[in-house]
Amino acid sequence: MKADSPADTVLELRSLTKHFAAYPAVKEVSFAVERGEFFSLVGPSGCGKTSTLRMIAGLEEPSAGEIILNGQNVSRVPPHRREVSTVFQSYALFPHLTVAGNIAFGLERQRRFSRSEIQGKLNTILEIVQLTGKESRLPKHLSGGEKQRVALARSLVLEPKVLLLDEPLSALDPALRKQMRAELKSLQRQIGIAFLFITHDQEEALSLSDRIAIMNGGCIEQIGDPQTVYRRPATRFAAEFLGDVNWIGEAALRPECLQVSLQPPREGVRWTPAVVQSLTFLGNRFLLGTRTRDGHSCIAELAGDTCRFQPGQQVCLWWNPADELLLQTQ
Amino acid sequence: MTRLRRLFLLPGQAVMTLLFWLPLAIILLYSLLTRGTYGGITLPFTAESYARVTDVLYLEIFWRSLWVAALSTVLCLILAFPLAFYIAQVTRRKALLLNLVTLPFWTSFLIRTYAWMFLLRDTGLVNSLLQSLHLIQKPLPLLFNTGAVILGLVYGYLPFMVFPLYATLEKLDTALLEAAQDLGASPLEAIWRIAVPLTKPGILAGCVLVFVPCMGAYLTPDLMGGGKTVMLGNLVQNQFTTARDWPFGAAVSLVFILISLVVTAILQRRTEDLL
């Protein structure tokens, strides 16, 4: 089946919907992923992002809507005939197969490669994910980061149209997670395959993605590049999911957009008096917890390694009106 | 606490000593004695019974027991795997289906074997149904042959294959099967390449549980085989009753135990390699 999509679109979802019994997990989700794009789907657990991914992989059947992959409607194509590949949250490495066996598994299923071709592809991908020399190990003898790289290699060696990643970094400890995050980004740039990345971690999404789709309650709330969705969130949910928000009257502000001074500021800015309540030192910055006169709690983020404010002090919070977040009322 | 733990072993040890080790010692003793004129045993000690085991006539019975048991085991495996897979990985009504698998144990094996005989005999349900539909002219020979024995053994020991398979398949991470399909394996390939290799410990355990009792089956070959398919169990029984040759019956029993132990040990070693 041919389906019209723009030439640079590799994956398009059209009103994709999934009901589990009577419960709607995914409601008319539509978006398009471009070739070579790092596209993130973010949202809290239960927002429908994993169900969306599983429908794209073919592991769940959509209740309604279409999945267009590389110009073909694949909505009813079984998973083993779809040119997408998934990196599972738990990696799902085959415990009885070696690193090489795991990576070659998909190639062997295709029956169009000779043994030497498979070996060649295997060597190339082992080098890319830096696992050369570990090909005869079993998964249980690998570290968390190595398992992650095998899972990536196993999918990437098939050169899928889109690589689907289901919270691939969540099983790693925090230090390793940061390292793998950097590796993932450079790997994606190097091979140029589109990544559809699922996470509930806003920092991961902001730092990795070309574009982000924010999902809530089975619907897409906003799609945009990281700076746009962070600085110009469309909805209150999007604003609060991607970072902290201070509410001062009608104005919504990111903590780093609030300035603090002892004297009322110059003209051309907005301000409100407040009382310092707490001071949190975070190494390279301070978080100043304050309460405004009309009772709102506000957190201001101050750069630098010293802070001249004390709890109990009267201060002025001020900001540039251009930094106010403009949110749709729901 | 340590002393108490030792006490826990006592009842089991007592039962095993009285009802297993002691009889086994008696069988060993008998097998080395001479047959009495009217049954029983008498002196002197001799290894003659063991020499007779290698007689072609008896080797044939050993060989038949071996292949009938092996074939029954393989058939059980082929039938049990899809069933266990369905219960463990597909359905949500696990408890109900597992109870249905154990349901036959609610009646005696003897009664169930007779039920099969009523179904399969010349005037039984199957033959009369086929005849009334004019599909056959005269009754099919469904009973009193080796095929009937194998049918009876497969029927009787199928649950012993289902349970160990279910136990291992239940622990199999469904994500592995999904990953296999995601990487291009058809559903059947995913089962063959992933579920089967990862279920090997269960497969081996099930094979031991089915193979060993099939080897020594007595009731099924006697009733369903009509005495025409003589297996080891029948040989032993015959020696202790009609033939009145207790030492030879005892010798056959011990050789059979030895074969079972060797087969079990081989399978055990394979299982340990896998774990």
CATH number at residue B115: 1.10.3720.10
CA–CA separation, B120 vs B108, rounded Å?
A: 19
Specify which of A97-111, B54-68, B135-149 reaches the highest per-range mean pLDDT: A97-111
Residue A289 confidence (pLDDT) above 50: yes
Q: Please state the domain count of chain B.
A: 1
Contacts of B118 (CB under 8 A, 6+ apart): B124, B125
CA–CA separation, A39 vs A164, rounded Å?
A: 10
**Minimum CA–CA partner of B178 in chain A:** A59
Instruction: Give B222→chain A minimum CA distance, Å.
Output: 44
Instruction: Give A248→chain B minimum CA distance, Å.
Output: 47
| Residue among B184, B186, B198 whose CB faces A95 most closely | B198
Residue A33's pLDDT band, with cuts at 50, 70 and 90, is very high
**Minimum CA–CA partner of B179 in chain A:** A92
Is residue B54 included in any domain, yes or no?
Answer: no
What does the pLDDT read at residue A271? 85
- Which of chain A's residues have a Cβ under 8 Å away from the Cβ of B201? none
- How many CB atoms are closer than 10 A to CB A161? 18
Please classify residue B162 by burial: count the beta carbons closer than 10 Å to its beta carbon, then call 0-12 exposed, 13-18 middle and 19+ buried: buried
- Which of chain A's residues have a Cβ under 8 Å away from the Cβ of B185? 80, 105, 109
Strand bridging mode A162-166 / A84-87: parallel
For B:188-217, CB contacts with A below 8 A are 189, 193-194, 197-198
**Minimum CA–CA partner of A105 in chain B:** B183
| Residue among A59, A78, A94 whose CB faces B176 most closely | A94
CA nearest neighbour of A55 among A166, A207, A175, A183: A166
B180 within 8 A of B194, measured Cβ to Cβ: yes
- Give the sign of the dihedral formed by CA B192, CA A56, CA A82, CA A146: negative
- Domain of residue B189: give its range: 67-229
Is residue B209 included in any domain, yes or no?
Answer: yes
Q: Does A158 touch chain B (CB under 8 A)?
A: yes
Residue A330 confidence (pLDDT) above 60: no
Q: Do B182 and A158 touch (CB under 8 A)?
A: no
Instruction: Give B275→chain A minimum CA distance, Å.
Output: 10
A39 within 8 A of A211, measured Cβ to Cβ: yes
Mean pLDDT of A183-201: 90
What does the pLDDT read at residue A1? 47
The least confident of A97-106, A228-237, A243-252, B24-33 is A243-252
Residue B274's pLDDT band, with cuts at 50, 70 and 90, is low
Residue A5's pLDDT band, with cuts at 50, 70 and 90, is low
Chosen for mutation from B176, B177, B183 (greatest number of chain A CBs closer than 10 Å) is B183
pTM for the model: 0.81
Instruction: Give B42→chain A minimum CA distance, Å.
Output: 57
Please classify residue B189 by burial: count the beta carbons closer than 10 Å to its beta carbon, then call 0-12 exposed, 13-18 middle and 19+ buried: middle
Cα of A89 vs its chain's centroid, Å: 13
The least confident of A160-174, A183-197, B119-133 is B119-133
- Give the sign of the dihedral formed by CA A137, CA A141, CA A143, CA A144: positive
Helix, strand and coil content of chain B, in percent to the nearest 5, comes to 75, 0, 20
3-class secondary-structure state, position A199: strand
Residue A294 confidence (pLDDT) above 90: no
CA–CA separation, B27 vs B252, rounded Å?
A: 10
Specify which of A34-43, A283-292, B237-246, B254-263 reaches the highest per-range mean pLDDT: A34-43
- Which of chain B's residues have a Cβ under 8 Å away from the Cβ of A92? 173, 175-176, 178-179
B160 within 8 A of B210, measured Cβ to Cβ: yes
Residue B171: C-alpha distances to residues A252, B166, B174, B195 (Å)? 50, 9, 9, 11
- Which of chain A's residues have a Cβ under 8 Å away from the Cβ of B173? 90, 92
Residue A164's pLDDT band, with cuts at 50, 70 and 90, is very high
Mean pLDDT of B258-263: 86
**Minimum CA–CA partner of A104 in chain B:** B183
CA–CA separation, B267 vs B270, rounded Å?
A: 5
Buried b (16+ CB within 10 A) or exposed e, A238-254: bbebbbebbebeebbbb
Residue B1's pLDDT band, with cuts at 50, 70 and 90, is low
What does the pLDDT read at residue B6? 82
Is residue B192 included in any domain, yes or no?
Answer: yes
CA nearest neighbour of A122 among A149, A99, A140, A90: A99
Instruction: Give B170→chain A minimum CA distance, Å.
Output: 16
3-class secondary-structure state, position B185: coil
Is residue B256 included in any domain, yes or no?
Answer: no
Secondary structure of A211-222 in the HEC alphabet? Answer: EEEEEECCEEEE
Strand bridging mode A270-281 / A38-42: unpaired
Is residue B55 included in any domain, yes or no?
Answer: no
Residue A39 confidence (pLDDT) above 90: yes
For B:165-184, CB contacts with A below 8 A are 173, 175-176, 178-184
What does the pLDDT read at residue B194? 94
Cα of A39 vs its chain's centroid, Å: 7
User: Tokens 């038949």, residue?
Assistant: B64
Is residue B170 included in any domain, yes or no?
Answer: yes
Instruction: Give B188→chain A minimum CA distance, Å.
Output: 11
- Which of chain A's residues have a Cβ under 8 Å away from the Cβ of B184? 80-81, 106, 109-110, 158
Residue A211 confidence (pLDDT) above 90: yes
- Which of chain B's residues have a Cβ under 8 Å away from the Cβ of A79? 178, 181-182
What does the pLDDT read at residue A40? 94
The ipTM estimated for the assembled molecules is 0.84
Q: Do B182 and A94 touch (CB under 8 A)?
A: no
The least confident of A133-147, A263-277, B248-262 is A263-277
pLDDT tens column, A64-92: 999 999 989 999 999 999 999 999 988 99
Residue A29 confidence (pLDDT) above 90: yes
The least confident of A59-73, A249-263, B15-29 is A249-263
Mean pLDDT of A275-279: 89
Is residue B248 included in any domain, yes or no?
Answer: no
Instruction: Give B96→chain A minimum CA distance, Å.
Output: 22
- Which of chain A's residues have a Cβ under 8 Å away from the Cβ of B180? 94, 105
- Which of chain A's residues have a Cβ under 8 Å away from the Cβ of B198? 95-96
Residue A55: C-alpha distances to residues A20, A43, B161 (Å)? 13, 17, 36
pLDDT tens column, A302-317: 887 777 888 888 888 8
User: What are the structural domains, with CATH classification, of chain A?
Assistant: 9-237 (3.40.50.300), 245-323 (2.40.50.140)
pLDDT tens column, B215-235: 888 888 888 888 777 888 888
**Minimum CA–CA partner of A85 in chain B:** B182
Chosen for mutation from A77, A109, A152 (greatest number of chain B CBs closer than 10 Å) is A109
Is residue B101 included in any domain, yes or no?
Answer: yes
A78 within 8 A of A28, measured Cβ to Cβ: no
